[in-house]
Structure 1
Amino acid sequence: MGSGRREGDRLLSVPLVVDTDLGSDPDDELALALVWGSPEFDLRQLIVSYGDVHLRASIAQRMAAETGRALRVAVGEDLPLSGAPVWWAGSEGSAYGELARPTDLVPVDLGLARGGVLLAIAPLSTIATGFAGDPSLPGELERLVIMGGDFRSHAAAEHNIVSDVTAAQSVFDTDATTFVVGLDITRQVRLHAGELRQIATAGPLGAILGREIDAWLARWDEDYEVPHDPVTALAYLEPGLFEFSRPGRVVVSDDGTTRFVPGEGRARIATAVNAPAAACSVLRRVLLGLRSYRAVDA
């Protein structure tokens, strides 16, 4: 069972805002497909943050066009609050061919997640800025769900945290009720060749993502995709597949490493995952999201 609300026998979708650095690792694009394939969610706004945000917006709008979906896209912070340099793969959007300039962009509105879920799968600059401008918002979210950190001992820094340690600590210091899913959990879930073939043959957008994934895996000399961001969304949708710590707080070091301190605080970190079941659920939801919206409604 997912975490959607019910009124009698009717599933009520949870308001959702997603903040993403979509376009680098294909897992962000897979996460958007998973959101589309999850009726528990009512996606109110997609925010693109970090680096060339207009290119990221173009990719997001192209994804929506390929599936016949409406998508409200907002441009978030392009630079880290910490002043750290932006990491850029250089291959962003290459599988899409010529991309149109983004149109009909909307203002960032984290408040659309009030009473619902804010899914943070990018460096946290935009969310930190938004929380600073609306200090009551963190406490009014049902859940802040963050892909970030690595909570193993002696772990290296994770991208979303080290890219803006100032923003990360600021967000973790709010009173948001938070799920945090780190690399120590997401790396246990893998999509292998058979699953990746299913994605690549799932319509026009699936074919594009198949090329994106192939190029990404070749860059790192790997033969499987780790769906970090889809797994993070799944922690809210299907929490029974995970184990979580008791509440506490996340502390970010200057070098971007993270540690969890149990006790006072409203953050819980994922401590275990049923990796085979999570991979199956991610694939099922992604494939549904890659289908044409008109075909789903038909």
Structure 2
Amino acid sequence: MIGRLVIDDSLPTVFRTTLLSLLFATSALAADPVPLIFDTDMGNDIDDALALAMIHSLESRGACKLLAVTVTKDHPKAAPFVDILNTRYGRPDIPIGVVKGGATKEEGKFLKLADAKAADGSPLYPHDLLDGSTAPDAIPLLRRTLEQQPDGSVVIVQVGFFTNLLRLLESAPDENSPLSGRDLVAKKVKLLSLMAGAFTPIDHNTRYREYNVVYDIPAAQEVTAEWPTPMVWSGFETGNAVTYPHQSIDLDFPAQDPIKEAYYLYETPPHDRPTWDLTAVLHAVYPDRGYFELSPPGKVVVDQDGTTDFAPQEKGRDRYLILNPTLAARAREAMVQLCTQPLAR
């Protein structure tokens, strides 16, 4: 059964890489592409950029279809940097929506690349969205995108704050859809795969306050309470257990590349950054591939201080990802292969 295939770590790297490529190719042929919306706080950490790179590689394999990207970081260079990456992968026309009045308004460490110029004065990294303040509001874009998709088909990957998704739930019928936001989500969304929370102690701290939750706690509480479809949580501990090897950044990306440069701007090399957001993407597109185990069904509650509690329930809506060392090694290799896949020409 493909979903339980285990690739022996004792095999030479070239054989393991070949087996992974064959596995990805077989799955792409066997299933329709997953319609995907990516909701990101691009600019706050480099894992958002790597996660978007993965999505584009998965689309090139026929495994998913990126419908739209929405941004929850409220800085005018966040959406242009998203456009840089979409353009890098040959998909410059993917719609991008932005939060209005959201959290984390500082520029961050690598969004300056949106302004970088070549010797002739053109953008160093091509893109045509130059100012995020001119991009459309995320909520009408989300409503329009969902309305256009088959019922029960869309997977949303949220790797930033809960702001956009709360506003989507609270949105009223409009020219994009006759449904309320909650009814639209219930009708069109299959799964919400999110990087948020913590479900095991972090450095012995049983009340760990995870970043994506604490920067908009009211939105996290409301979305967690009201979201009407299954949710799979990738907690802080999951991405923390799988780090991205800096050797891949050094060797597998071109000398001049927005992901490579952003990785180095985010933190001086060498460093192996945790793959928090990448884990949510990998599960969203390949949920039956055996990269992760899942908790029993249950209910997640976001407390007033931003901590997350999970209580098992027989018919609960929520589950969270679980890793052991063997699965972590498999997930890491898959994510590296996807992030470094050669660009389609």
What TM-score bracket applies, with the shorter chain setting the length?
0.7 to 0.9
Which residue, out of 97, 101, 108, partners 2:141? Answer: 108
Match of 1:268, as an amino acid? R
Residues 153 and 190, structure 2, Cα contact 8 Å, conserved in 1: yes
CA distance in 2, matches of 1:176, 1:280: 30
Match of 1:93, as an amino acid? L
Residues 69 and 94, structure 2, Cα contact 8 Å, conserved in 1: yes
Which residue, out of 63, 68, 72, partners 2:90? Answer: 68
Structure 1 residue 182 corresponds to structure 2 residue 235: yes
Residue 238 (structure 1) shift: 3.2
CA distance in 1, matches of 2:106, 2:231: 28
Structure 1 residue 55 corresponds to structure 2 residue 77: yes
Among the aligned pairs, what percent are the same residue? 22
Aligned pairs for 1:1-298 (under 5 A) are: 11-38=31-58, 39-52=62-75, 54-80=76-102, 86=104, 88=106, 90-96=108-114, 97-98=116-117, 100-101=130-131, 105=136, 107-110=140-143, 112-113=145-146, 115-133=153-171, 134-140=181-187, 141-153=189-201, 154-173=206-225, 174-201=227-254, 204=256, 207-218=257-268, 223-239=271-287, 240-263=290-313, 265-273=316-324, 274-288=327-341, 291-293=342-344, 295=345
Alignment partner of 1:43: what SS? strand
Residue 166 (structure 1) shift: 1.0
User: Between Structure 1 and Structure 2, how many residues are aligned?
Assistant: 281
> Against the structure 1 CA distance between its residues 136 and 90, is the aligned structure 2 distance closer, same or farther, given a 3 Å change threshold?
same
CA distance in 2, matches of 1:7, 1:279: 19
Residues 200 and 208, structure 1, Cα contact 8 Å, conserved in 2: no
Match of 1:168, as an amino acid? A
Any gaps of 5 or more consecutive residues in structure 2? Answer: 4-22, 118-122, 124-129, 147-151, 172-180
Residues 199 and 209, structure 1, Cα contact 8 Å, conserved in 2: no
> Against the structure 1 CA distance between its residues 262 and 71, is the aligned structure 2 distance closer, same or farther, given a 3 Å change threshold?
farther
Superposed CA deviations along residues 211-234 of structure 1, whole A, max 9, x for unmatched, are 21122223xx87211121111111
Q: RCO greater where, 1 or 2, for CA within 8 Å and sep 6 or more?
A: 1
> Against the structure 1 CA distance between its residues 243 and 41, is the aligned structure 2 distance closer, same or farther, given a 3 Å change threshold?
same
TM-score by length of 1: 0.84
Residues 15 and 112, structure 1, Cα contact 8 Å, conserved in 2: no
Residues 36 and 66, structure 2, Cα contact 8 Å, conserved in 1: yes
CA distance in 2, matches of 1:248, 1:119: 20
CA distance in 2, matches of 1:160, 1:292: 30
Residues 182 and 228, structure 2, Cα contact 8 Å, conserved in 1: no
Residue 191 (structure 1) shift: 1.4
TM-score by length of 2: 0.73
Partner of 2:11: none
Cα RMSD, aligned residues only: 2.8
> Against the structure 1 CA distance between its residues 169 and 214, is the aligned structure 2 distance closer, same or farther, given a 3 Å change threshold?
same
Q: Greater CA deviation, 273-282 or 87-96?
A: 87-96
Residues 199 and 210, structure 1, Cα contact 8 Å, conserved in 2: no
CA distance in 2, matches of 1:7, 1:192: 26
Residues 74 and 98, structure 2, Cα contact 8 Å, conserved in 1: no
CA distance in 1, matches of 2:307, 2:29: 44
Match of 1:176, as an amino acid? T
CA distance in 1, matches of 2:319, 2:100: 28
